Amino acid sequence: MTIQGAVIRKQGVTFAAVVVKRHVVDDRTHADQVILSFALLFPGLPIVLMAQDSRGIPTYYGRGDTAQFMASMPLDAVPWRE
């Protein structure tokens, strides 16, 4: 399985962002389970899930402060890696 994600360090906050399909962020129970599964890859970091709709508009799910911070960042500024 290949994932696309990033570890972001901004303004004294470090967290992970992971790209998922839109249906994942639309279902909070599923999204919480996915965050738990990614915790093994990003131990100790808050995780934000990011999904895009068909127009490329992102939606974020995760801890409130980190999800809001992620929403304020341009997507091309995120250091995504596979």
Helix residue spans in the chain (DSSP H): 22-26, 28-38, 64-72
Cα separation of 19 and 28, whole Å? 15
- Predicted pLDDT of residue 25: 96
The pLDDT of residue 65: 87
pLDDT digits (tens, 9 = 90+) for 12-66: 889 999 999 999 999 999 999 999 999 999 999 999 999 999 999 999 999 888 8
| Separation of alpha carbons 36 and 62, rounded Å | 11
pLDDT at 1 over 80: no
CB neighbour list of residue 41: distance below 8 Å, 6 or more residues apart: 3, 5, 16
Kindly list the structural domains of the chain, giving each domain's residue range(s) and its CATH number in brackets, ordered by start.
5-77 (3.40.1350)
| pLDDT value at residue 36 | 96
- pLDDT band of 11, cuts 50, 70, 90: confident
